[in-house]
Amino acid sequence: LAAPPSPPGQDPHGWRVPVDCVRANELCAAEPSCSSRYRTLRQCLAGRDRNTMLANKECQAALEVLQESPLYDCRCKRGMKKELQCLQIYWSIHLGLTEGEEFYEASPYEPVTSRLSDIFRLASMFSGMDPAANSKSNHCLDAAKACNLNDNCKRLRSGYISTCSRELSASEPCSRRKCHKALRQFFDRVPSEYTYRLLFCSCKDQACAERRRQTIVPSCSYEDKEKPNCLDLRSACRTDHLCRSRLADFHTNCQASFQTLTSCPGDNYQACLGSYTGLIGFNMTPNYIDASITSITISPWCSCKGSGNMEEECEKFLRDFTENPCLRNAIQAFGNGTDVNLSP
C-alpha cells in the first residue's frame, strides 16, 4: 500500500504542525473542495448532536474530507491578532464534535512549550535577592514596585485599578464589564514576569496575602451580590467563545494528574499558571478566597448550593480550583522560586 501524499502542514515524522485557524481558514477557502465541505459541515453541526450528524451521509463525507485539512487540527494563540476570529473558527467545527456537554474540553490554544527559557527567567528574578532581606520582605509589595518601574506594566495596572475602583452610583460600585476588559488587557499585554509576580507572590504575613488577594480588585472583578451555582456559571462561560476557550485551556493545563511528580500535565507549571491567568477578566475569574498565609485556596465566585442531582459534578468542577494539587504546587513553586530545581 502506497503512503498517501502528505498534506501540507505535516512535519517529516507525520505529525501535523499546528496552523492557526485563521490561516487554516484561508488555506481552506482557497481550495474549492475544502471550502464547500467546510460549509456543509458547519450546516451539519448547527443545532444537531454528533450522532445524528454522523448518521447523515453527506455530513459524514464532509467530516472525512475535513479530517485531512489543516482546519481540523488548527489552534489559536493567546493574545494573537484576531484571537476571537480564530476561536470562532475553532469552535465552529469543534462545538458540535465535542458534544458541548463534556466535562473537560480540549484547549483551542497551542501548547505552551517555552518552558526552559521561562524557568531561567524565573530563576534570574529570584537570584540577586539578598536571602537575609528575603525573609523579611513582602514579595507582593516588591512585585508592585517592579511593575511601577516598568512603563507598560505601570500604565496598564493603573488603568485597570482606576477602572475597577470607579464608583458609578450608590447601587453600582463599578462597571464590571469595563473592569474585566481592563484586566484582560493587563494580563494579555504585560509580560508574565511582571503579572505572575503580582498574582503568585509568596507571603509570610497577612498584609502581604491581603495585597495578593487584592491584586485583581476583587470587589469589582470577582465578588458579586450573590454567588451563582458553579454549573450555571460554567454554562454562561461556555456561551462565550473567549471564556470557553480560556476555561478549556485551564482544564487542559491545570488538570491534576497522577502520573507526574508535580501533579501537573507534563510537569509544566508555566502552562498551568498561564491558563489560570487567562481566566481573569471573565465571569469565571478565579481568586484567592481569603488572606490566609497557611493555606492557599482559589475559587471562582460560585458555590454548589442548589445543584440538585448534579451536586457531584458541580463539586468536581469546583474542586479543580479549590483542591487542585497541580495549581497549588504551581503557585507555591512560583512563589518560592523552586521550579528551577525541577529537571526538564
Binding site for another protein (CB under 8 A): 14-16, 49, 51-52, 54-55, 63, 67, 72-73, 93-94, 97-98, 106, 111, 166-170, 228-229, 231-232, 235, 252, 258-259, 265-266, 305-313
Task: Provide the minimum distance between the beta carbon of 269 and another protein in the complex, in angstroms, as a whole number.
Answer: 15
| Grid cell locating 268 | 509544566
Of 22 and 66, which CB lies nearer to another protein in the complex structure?
A: 66
Of 103 and 189, which CB lies nearer to another protein in the complex structure?
A: 103
Of 80 and 230, which CB lies nearer to another protein in the complex structure?
A: 230
Q: Which residue reads 469589582 in cell numbers?
A: 220
Q: For residue 167, which phi and psi values (nearest 5 degrees)?
A: -80, 125
Task: Provide the minimum distance between the beta carbon of 197 and another protein in the complex, in angstroms, as a whole number.
Answer: 27
Q: Nearest CA to 272 among 153, 111, 103?
A: 111
Amino acid code (one letter) for 45: L
Of 142 and 315, which CB lies nearer to another protein in the complex structure?
A: 315
Which DSSP string do the residues of 223-263 spell out, in sequence order?
--SSPPBHHHHHHHHHTSHHHHHHHHHHHHHH---SSSSSS
Amino acid code (one letter) for 342: L
Task: Provide the minimum distance between the beta carbon of 67 and another protein in the complex, in angstroms, as a whole number.
Answer: 6
Neighbours of 2 (CB within 10 A): 4
Rounded CA separation 23/326 (Å): 34
Element (H, E) at 62: helix 57-67
Task: Provide the minimum distance between the beta carbon of 110 and another protein in the complex, in angstroms, as a whole number.
Answer: 9
Rounded CA separation 119/269 (Å): 10
Q: Which residue reads 448547527 in cell numbers?
A: 46
Q: Nearest CA to 79 among 189, 186, 196?
A: 189
Of 23 and 121, which CB lies nearer to another protein in the complex structure?
A: 23
Look at the alpha carbons of 143, 206, 251, 259 in this order and tell me if their dihedral is positive or negative: positive
Of 104 and 126, which CB lies nearer to another protein in the complex structure?
A: 104
Rounded CA separation 57/53 (Å): 9
- What torsion, rounded to 10 degrees, do the Cα atoms 225, 231, 235, 237 define? 60
Task: Provide the minimum distance between the beta carbon of 216 and another protein in the complex, in angstroms, as a whole number.
Answer: 20
Of 106 and 123, which CB lies nearer to another protein in the complex structure?
A: 106
Task: Provide the minimum distance between the beta carbon of 240 and another protein in the complex, in angstroms, as a whole number.
Answer: 17
Q: Which residue reads 504546587 in cell numbers?
A: 329
Of 28 and 280, which CB lies nearer to another protein in the complex structure?
A: 28
Task: Provide the minimum distance between the beta carbon of 131 and another protein in the complex, in angstroms, as a whole number.
Answer: 35
Task: Provide the minimum distance between the beta carbon of 313 and another protein in the complex, in angstroms, as a whole number.
Answer: 8
